[in-house]
Homo-oligomer: A and B are copies of this chain.
């Protein structure tokens, strides 16, 4: 073999091989398990350099390059790692999951097989209340007693729905039609394969505090139990540069600049020109852009200039 080339060995990550096939429990009856994967931290570097060998210079240099690539939103080298998971998840959460299109999927077929006999149950203390500001969020919990009622109703509904499903099947109704009234909480299973770049994108959205709790629990496991074991250097960078980062618009940067230099008048002038300082009965009206900026000021420990 030409001396440029290096005979390669399979790339394995022992921390991940150790848990191959073992389920992480999620929700009341769900799980995630790693079926297979391709690549590790070094594979990213190897591809970015289109290198002939195993792609390992000194680990310190590799780390610097990985961090640089992630910080500057390079995507293709991270696509060079791939992971395959087996998961069990309520259809309701799966409906959100499947919207991530750049992934490979084989879902358990309820046309071909009898539907999984399990639906996600909610405990009395777990009923979340509708958030007031965020129209698509939740905050706080229903009081226990009311929750108990909700839970009892749910159990009845699950039982009724399953009875009807079973009766249909026994009467000879086709599985593809019998399933039509299963509750969205029914568990499904799938093989899901995705590259690291798209997985990080998934995690960024689904680990976020506004993501729905159910899918967030899966994302947390994938991030903190799986990706962290698999590509620890990437994970560290991802926490710093992506999950933990804060973005300022061009106007917000201008405002910050004036705040730093103490030009209070200019701050207010600019804010006013953006329509942020309208008043209603002596108070500032709700303005979502201003409120988002205020949150960022909180992070920076800066008091509001208005």
Contacts and interface: CB of A to CB of B under 8 A. Distances in A.
Interface of A: 1-2, 5-12, 17, 20-23, 33, 35-39, 43, 46-48, 50, 52, 64, 67-68, 71, 76-77, 79-80, 82, 84, 86, 90-92, 95, 98-99, 101-102, 104-109, 111-112, 119-120, 122, 127-131, 135-138, 142, 146, 150, 153-154, 156-158, 160-161, 164, 167-168, 171-177, 179-185, 189-191, 193, 195, 212, 239-241, 243-251, 253, 256-257, 260-261, 288-289, 292, 299-302
Given A153-B164, A183-B182, A249-B240, A80 B71 contact: no
B253 A299 contact: yes
Contact of A249 (B101, B119, B244): B244
A249 B239 CA distance: 9
A100 to B, nearest CB: 9
A245 to B, nearest CB: 5
Contact of A128 (B130, B177, B246, B248): B177
Nearest to A248: B246
A183 B181 contact: yes
A11 B39 contact: no
A190 B50 contact: yes
9 contacts: A50-B190, A71-B292, A82-B82, A127-B173, A127-B177, A130-B173, A176-B212, A179-B184, A241-B250
Contacts of A160: 156-157, 160
A112 B135 contact: yes
A92 B129 contact: no
B122 A104 contact: no
A240 B247 contact: no
Given A137-B176, A171-B150, A176-B138, A181 B157 contact: yes
B20 A35 contact: no
A47 B11 contact: no
A157 to B, nearest CB: 5
A243 to B, nearest CB: 8
Contacts of A289: 67, 71
B184 A91 contact: yes
Given A130-B173, A157-B181, A245-B248, 4 more contacts: A5-B33, A136-B175, A150-B173, A245-B247
Contacts of A50: 86, 106-108, 189-191
Contact of A130 (B35, B108, B172): B172
A71 B251 CA distance: 13
A7 B23 contact: no
